[in-house]
Homo-oligomer: A and B are copies of this chain.
């Protein structure tokens, strides 16, 4: 029997019909759909896709926040044999258009607040034949043909029977930012999502359960919101969807009001929640865990949530290429007696490979590093849900080797087998959970007449954890006339606003490595001199 998302989609409507999905609407009210309704809506939507020209094998894009419509699309599109590309609305317009074109998406579903964005990129979209707008509005727009989501649902057949699909059928596509150039696409099959979801129900991994009320803070356009929507629907858990642009305030109010048991998102949102709780206390004791990811969680944050609210912080490691969970933190039986501080020292590490994942950390010569928590190597992972290449992309050769994903993350392993990242893919900057490519910024800067060399690195930031800082060597011609403001304005048309460096520092020379590459390590070590 083939591993198929219809198996996941159909279970809660049969066995947990009263559980369901609460979505926060833009006016602050909320709407609830039971799984009985969800099941019906998924069948309607899936059967209606043909009416907008979406056939098995086609791809469908979304530019949507976390809400019930997105969850319906998560199942309706793959169950019809098509493939859901959850486009990342936080990318630059250029990159969003690139990903939609590269995936060859035939339809684009989008949230109403993103209408200006969609109108702006539409002229660049080569394959999109239909736009589908969520919500009740019928705006005046040049997008054409424009369908309304609810009309599509009405048009569909609630008794539609999902076909049995071969398990290797593509079900989803997510793009990951690259150190240079365009984002790279990763395709997830029905089989891969099925296996990843089953793993997430494991008591020693994420323990996704029917007992849960799950609040996904991680966007559904970020590696399928870590795959939890699939696992949660299968388990029959309740969801609380935070809707458009949720703030820490919104998230905390939703946790308190709905008795949320499990919330997860970027480390930065965890820090925002901490600050907001200090400003205005809430009861978040219903949380069995708060899962933070994307980058290392500070021990002080873990300590705060555990001590003040009795909420343990779960962490994990992975990436778009690993669907994403490759490791999860697990306190071993013989470690259960440790003090809370010692457990946090384990929790801030990246953990153990999930069942099904194989991990190796290789030194520069390709040999496994000793498990001494000292020797550093690159972490590689493989498993039945990890990618083995990028979608139609020659960069696959760099990112994968013999079925293994080369993470670019430098790590140690301790004697317990626990992974610890010591240096991420060294040139990327992670701002508020989003990647910024330093190389892209450098190339753009160096396109300016007055710039000789430019190197961009991360500088620490209280809110976003990391922000880009640019080091620039002027040409001899430029002299005193070239200012920081000039360069930011020069970059602005080509990048999302939050990609723009917070600081531009003019220096005499960029330090170089032996082979003539920029030596960013030296810049990082000297960062304190400049900020």
Contacts and interface: CB of A to CB of B under 8 A. Distances in A.
| Main SS at interface, chain A | loop
Interface stretch (A25-33, A195-203, A421-429): A195-203
A216 interface: no
A334 interface: yes
A386 B32 CA distance: 36
A204 B209 contact: yes
A347 interface: no
A493 B294 CA distance: 69
Question: For the complex formed by this chain, how many copies does it contain in all?
Answer: 2
Interface of A: 1-3, 7-8, 11, 14-16, 18-19, 195, 198-199, 201-204, 207-211, 234-235, 238, 330, 332-334, 336, 352-353, 355-356, 358, 382-384, 386, 403, 416-417
B204 A333 contact: no
24 contacts: A1-B383, A1-B386, A3-B195, A7-B355, A7-B356, A7-B358, A8-B355, A11-B353, A15-B416, A19-B333, A198-B198, A198-B202, A198-B356, A201-B202, A201-B204, A201-B355, A202-B202, A203-B208, A204-B209, A204-B210, A204-B235, A210-B333, A235-B355, A238-B333
Nearest to A210: B204
A387 to B, nearest CB: 11
Contacts of A330: 210
Interface centre among A8, A202, A210, A211, by most B CB within 10 Å? Answer: A202
Nearest to A386: B1
Contacts of A15: 352-353, 416-417
Given A18-B334, A201-B202, A238-B333, 10 more contacts: A1-B403, A2-B384, A3-B195, A3-B384, A15-B416, A195-B198, A198-B202, A201-B201, A204-B209, A235-B355
